[in-house]
């Protein structure tokens, strides 16, 4: 399962959802979906903008965890 650690990086950078939304150019609703691990996909351009805004690497945002998927996904 892919886990999105956006909330962790936002906390480390002391950045609010509103501030990140403005910097990245993504709606609060879509950013909230990412932050809460509800997203099914993410555009590479969005991921690039998030990494630039948070000054981090893709691996700081996305993490692979084996065996943590929902039963419906397996």
- Give 12-29 pLDDT, tens digit per residue: 999 999 999 999 999 999
pLDDT computed for residue 73 by the predictor: 46
Angle between helices 44-54 and 17-24 (to 10 degrees): 120
Domain tally, the chain: 1
CATH number at residue 39: 1.10.260.40
pLDDT computed for residue 67 by the predictor: 79
Backbone angles phi, psi at 62, to 5 degrees: -105, 135
Instruction: Give this prediction's pTM.
Output: 0.84
Give the pLDDT band (50/70/90) at residue 70.
Answer: low
Domain that holds residue 7: 2-73
Residues 32-57: tens digit of each pLDDT: 999 999 999 999 999 999 999 999 99
């Amino acid at each position: 399962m892919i886990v999105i650690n956006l909330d962790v990086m936002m906390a480390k950078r002391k950045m609010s959802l509103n501030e990140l939304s403005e910097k990245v150019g993504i709606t609060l609703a879509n950013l909230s979906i990412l932050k809460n691990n509800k997203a099914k996909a993410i555009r590479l351009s969005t991921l690039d903008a998030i990494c630039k805004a948070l000054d981090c690497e893709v691996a700081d945002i996305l993490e692979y965890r084996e065996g943590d998927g929902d039963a419906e996904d397996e």
